[in-house]
A and B are shown apart, each in its own frame.
Chain A
Amino acid sequence: MATKNAEALAAANKKYEWGFSSDIEQDFAPKGLSEDTVRYISAKKNEPEWMLDWRLKAFRLWQTMEAPDWSKLNIDPIDYQDAYYYAEPKAKPKLGSLDEVDPEILRVYEKLGIPIEEQKVLAGVEGSRKVAVDAVFDSVSVATTFRKELEAAGVIFRSISEAIREYPDLVRKWLGKVVPQRDNFFATLNCAVFSDGTFVYIPEGVRCPMELSTYFRINAENTGQFERTLIVADKGSYVSYLEGCTAPMRDENQLHAAVVELVALDDAEIKYSTVQNWYPGDENGKGGIYNFVTKRALCQGKNSKVSWTQVETGSAITWKYPSCVLAGENSVGEFYSVAVTNNRQQADTGTKMIHLGKRSRSTIVSKGISAGRSDNTYRGLVRVGPSAEGVRNFTQCDSLLLGDQCGAHTVPYIEVKNPSAQIEHEATTSKISEDQMFYAMQRGLDSEAAVALIVNGFAREVLQQLPMEFAVEAQKLLGISLEGSVG
């Protein structure tokens, strides 16, 4: 077994397949973070006065806050003055279609294998499912496709800076409502310096005619990315939103602190899917993205539903807890997660389900896979308020360890103030058994294919929640991240 592990670990040390960087002219804010940086970003975005004030308020708050230390992450202190907070590719003004996009950018997309072209073809086919892409290249939204069709349905799908200019009342009403400015250190930082992101509004009764999709990239050296996403689903509406990430290889640690806010009103449903494959650092943990994300959904209306699905394979540090505040009666929160760590990666991820509404329900399925010398932690909270009658929760978190140098941790919190609640939590830890490997290999699979098969089986409950567009990519990612890791 020991030798098998050794082989597996050696094979797992493969290079980041999608790492490279391309040179596009960039506009930088000066290095470091001060009020001037905040003003610079706001001015760059042509933002109204209220937005600048909002940012400055957050910045002043941030200066009084301290970085949280409760996670099971081993991070050297981050020098926030040693990073760029804004980088914008020198884009041509007003792009009409993808053809006008900087060819260099298109080349990056191609190299990454992002199926934009494929999606266009797909879109051209009568009756086929359509995907709208709001591509974020570093910090600025470069191209937005399918806008017209969405507009016909009444759906607003904009970069957040556009939305601030075009729909100030709507943005002002919801921005910071779910994740307030003083929420946590990283969210507050984001409030001060967020560069761009996505705003989606689905009007009452509308079922969004296509899957909405954003690809995030981190491209400029030393550039922190501070995305801000706000999705509001009005009464009886439905939207499925996909977020996918791959990033070029770099030596410097890159800071990423995104905030995602979702609001679901009565009978609305939001499905939010993420595939994250940022540069995880090399085998010694050098480089790699620091990913501190605050994602939270407010199920405000009765019968509202929010479903988070995430496949996390990248980043050196992942600090991410997509949560649901289940305020509406009969509201439903779901969290499906696969987190893979290899080499020196550290992931501390999980969810919070805050049950405030009567008969609200939640399901948590978390699958952690650790290999190499990595650490993978599930950290979750299920809280039931005193007036939330008839709450149901089911939590399952399973860990799979590949090799004896990695760690798998489970830190669930359960806080219940109402006796009618039924809360169940289960967790298991296992490895890939020799029996499983033997069975798969005597059917003719090589060890890598066998591991990929077993890991995909382990994560199946989560992967099947992903929209079709993502499922294939996610399965591939799991295989690549763990290539050769025989347990």
Chain B
Amino acid sequence: MATLPTNAQEAWRWTDLAALTSAAASPRGDAPAAESYWLGIPGPRIVFVDGVYALEHSTPGHVALSPLTLDTAHPLGAQASGAAGWSIDLSAAEIVDPVQIVHLATGAESHLPARLTLDEDAVAQVVETYVGTGWTNRLTQIDLERGARLMRSVRLLQSDGFVSIRDEAVVGEAASLITQFLGAGGMGSRIDAMLTLDGDSAFVDYGGALLTREQQRQECAVAVRHAALNGSSRQTWRAVAADRSQASLAARVEVARGAQKTDGEQSLRGLLLQRTATVNLKPELEIFADDVKCAHGATVGELDARALFYLRSRGVSEARAKALLTKAFVSDALDRIGDDTVREAFAADADTWLEASL
């Protein structure tokens, strides 16, 4: 098995590797029930328990699953190489409702390599939910053919432990990859991605909201690589940190030589709820073409005192006003989820977190 990186390495300086190792060493327990994590919508349902496909709990419908193993050079992803994984083909026209995937973790470590594929002009929605405890590591290779469209929403709700996600996507001509994350559990996390816009006019929207409290540390480390002409990408990340927690957002736009007419945008914003909390931001640009539009904005601060005052002058209690404003802050990212039911479910998870933290 590949060795894990250390915090001395520049790309891993904010990662909570201690939480990862201690989660891996935790004992296995009972699996939580998947039932309470299904959204009340029809469609295929797939359950993985400790990285193993649980056929008896799944109703995959027209989703075609076949076994595979994957290889990657990435140190986190490489942990999953060799493990039994699944190729998940979402191309079937019959798949209309969102495909729900629930990862149940019972402790210790589990590694799952997976590949999501969409054929030409295929469209699919995926909702992923991570619950339980222990170290859950998922390597996902995403292959989008010409004109394909994948809308993915991922929520990290593990009560503790660590969730690491490594996405490696190749987005073809005029294809779109839209992924929004919500980190609202009690675990540590690292969302790590290398997304390549490989065909003309490809589109990537990749972002989310990370909510941290107590000693928790969550982070994203995402690189969007524009390798072809006319690509556009959006990265909208929001971090809310309470107590002694740390939320880190590192997002990079790479524009390869010759990837002219690229339009890349990043917006990273952090909100600190207590003075003991930490927010780290690193909006990075790496540009090798001259006819491009790339911009990023990054801010960190507390809630706007004037907005708070405004709400309180309208009779809203301080706690309520803070919750409202924080919710608005987080919704910058979550509102990018297209499906109403999914968006509302994610907003409800964020609300639960906010109620408990404010």
Q: Roughly how many angstroms separate A416 CA and B245 CA in the complex, as a whole number? A: 12
Q: Answer yes or no: A411 CB below 8 A from chain B CBs.
A: yes
Q: Answer yes or no: B71 CB below 8 A from chain A CBs.
A: no
Q: Roughly how many angstroms separate A409 CA and B277 CA in the complex, as a whole number? A: 29
What's the minimum C-beta distance from B355 to chain A, rounded to whole angstroms? 20
Residue B278 contacts which of A1, A412, A417, A427 (CB distance < 8 angstroms)? A417
Which B residues between 282 and 301 are near A, CB-CB below 8 angstroms?
A: 282-301
Contact B301 A406 (CB under 8 A): no
Q: Answer yes or no: A281 CB below 8 A from chain B CBs.
A: no
Q: Roughly how many angstroms separate A428 CA and B294 CA in the complex, as a whole number? A: 6
**Assuming A402-B290, A425-B283, A429-B287, is B278 touching A415 (CB within 8 A)?**
yes
Q: In chain A, what residue has the closest Cβ to B272?
A: A419
Q: Answer yes or no: A422 CB below 8 A from chain B CBs.
A: yes
Q: Answer yes or no: A426 CB below 8 A from chain B CBs.
A: yes
Residue B291 contacts which of A411, A426, A431 (CB distance < 8 angstroms)? A431
Which A residues between 383 and 407 are near B, CB-CB below 8 angstroms?
A: 384, 386, 399, 401-407
Q: Answer yes or no: B260 CB below 8 A from chain A CBs.
A: yes
Contact B275 A419 (CB under 8 A): yes
Which B residues between 251 and 286 are near A, CB-CB below 8 angstroms?
A: 257-258, 260, 270, 272-286
Q: Roughly how many angstroms separate A426 CA and B266 CA in the complex, as a whole number? A: 10
Q: Answer yes or no: A119 CB below 8 A from chain B CBs.
A: no
Which A residues between 406 and 440 are near B, CB-CB below 8 angstroms?
A: 406-431
Q: Answer yes or no: A70 CB below 8 A from chain B CBs.
A: yes
Q: Answer yes or no: B302 CB below 8 A from chain A CBs.
A: yes
Q: Answer yes or no: B10 CB below 8 A from chain A CBs.
A: yes
Contact B290 A425 (CB under 8 A): no
Q: In chain A, what residue has the closest Cβ to B301?
A: A422
Q: Return chain B residues, CB-CB under 8 Å to A399.
A: 285, 287
Q: Return chain A residues, CB-CB under 8 Å to B300.
A: 384, 414, 416, 421-423
Contact B274 A419 (CB under 8 A): yes
Contact B287 A408 (CB under 8 A): yes
Q: Roughly how many angstroms separate A424 CA and B274 CA in the complex, as a whole number? A: 19
Residue A419 contacts which of B277, B282, B293 (CB distance < 8 angstroms)? B277
Q: How many A-B residue pairs have CB under 8 A?
A: 118
Residue A425 contacts which of B260, B275, B278, B281 (CB distance < 8 angstroms)? B281
Q: Answer yes or no: A487 CB below 8 A from chain B CBs.
A: yes
Residue A401 contacts which of B270, B277, B290 (CB distance < 8 angstroms)? B290
Q: Roughly how many angstroms separate A406 CA and B275 CA in the complex, as a whole number? A: 42
**Assuming A415-B278, A416-B279, is B286 touching A409 (CB within 8 A)?**
yes
Chain B at the A interface: SS class: strand
Which A residues between 254 and 298 are near B, CB-CB below 8 angstroms?
A: none
Q: Roughly how many angstroms separate A424 CA and B269 CA in the complex, as a whole number? A: 9
Which A residues between 1 and 45 are near B, CB-CB below 8 angstroms?
A: 1, 5
Q: In chain A, what residue has the closest Cβ to B279?
A: A416
Q: Roughly how many angstroms separate A416 CA and B273 CA in the complex, as a whole number? A: 12
**Assuming A401-B287, A401-B290, is B298 touching A412 (CB within 8 A)?**
yes
What's the minimum C-beta distance from B24 to chain A, rounded to whole angstroms? 27
Residue A415 contacts which of B258, B280, B286, B293 (CB distance < 8 angstroms)? B280
**Assuming A404-B257, A413-B282, A425-B296, is B287 touching A419 (CB within 8 A)?**
no
Q: Roughly how many angstroms separate A5 CA and B287 CA in the complex, as a whole number? A: 17
Q: In chain A, what residue has the closest Cβ to B262?
A: A429
What's the minimum C-beta distance from B227 to chain A, rounded to whole angstroms? 15
Contact A410 B285 (CB under 8 A): yes
Q: Roughly how many angstroms separate A408 CA and B297 CA in the complex, as a whole number? A: 17
Contact A418 B275 (CB under 8 A): yes
Q: Return chain B residues, CB-CB under 8 Å to A70.
A: 10
Q: Roughly how many angstroms separate A184 CA and B278 CA in the complex, as a whole number? A: 26
Q: In chain B, what residue has the closest Cβ to A405?
A: B257
What's the minimum C-beta distance from A410 to chain B, rounded to whole angstroms? 4
Q: Roughly how many angstroms separate A420 CA and B303 CA in the complex, as a whole number? A: 9
Q: Return chain A residues, CB-CB under 8 Å to B274.
A: 419
Q: In chain B, what residue has the closest Cβ to A378?
A: B285
Contact A417 B291 (CB under 8 A): no
Q: In chain A, what residue has the closest Cβ to B299?
A: A424
Contact A408 B285 (CB under 8 A): yes
Q: Roughly how many angstroms separate A310 CA and B49 CA in the complex, as a whole number? A: 58
Q: Roughly how many angstroms separate A421 CA and B280 CA in the complex, as a whole number? A: 13
Q: Roughly how many angstroms separate A415 CA and B272 CA in the complex, as a whole number? A: 11
Q: Return chain B residues, CB-CB under 8 Å to A417.
A: 275-278
Q: Roughly how many angstroms separate A72 CA and B284 CA in the complex, as a whole number? A: 12
Q: In chain B, what residue has the closest Cβ to A407?
A: B288
Q: Roughly how many angstroms separate A354 CA and B142 CA in the complex, as a whole number? A: 40
Contact B272 A429 (CB under 8 A): no
Q: Return chain B residues, CB-CB under 8 Å to A420.
A: 275, 301-302
Contact B295 A429 (CB under 8 A): yes
In order of increasing CB-CB distance, the 10 nearest A-B pairs are: A419-B272, A419-B302, A401-B290, A414-B281, A425-B298, A410-B285, A416-B300, A423-B300, A429-B294, A431-B290
Beyond A413-B281, A426-B295, list 4 extra A-B contacts (CB 8 Å). A409-B287, A417-B277, A427-B295, A429-B287
10 A-B interface contacts by CB (under 8 A): A404-B260, A408-B287, A412-B298, A414-B300, A419-B274, A420-B275, A423-B300, A426-B296, A427-B283, A427-B285
B interface, CB within 8 angstroms of A = 10, 257-258, 260, 270, 272-302
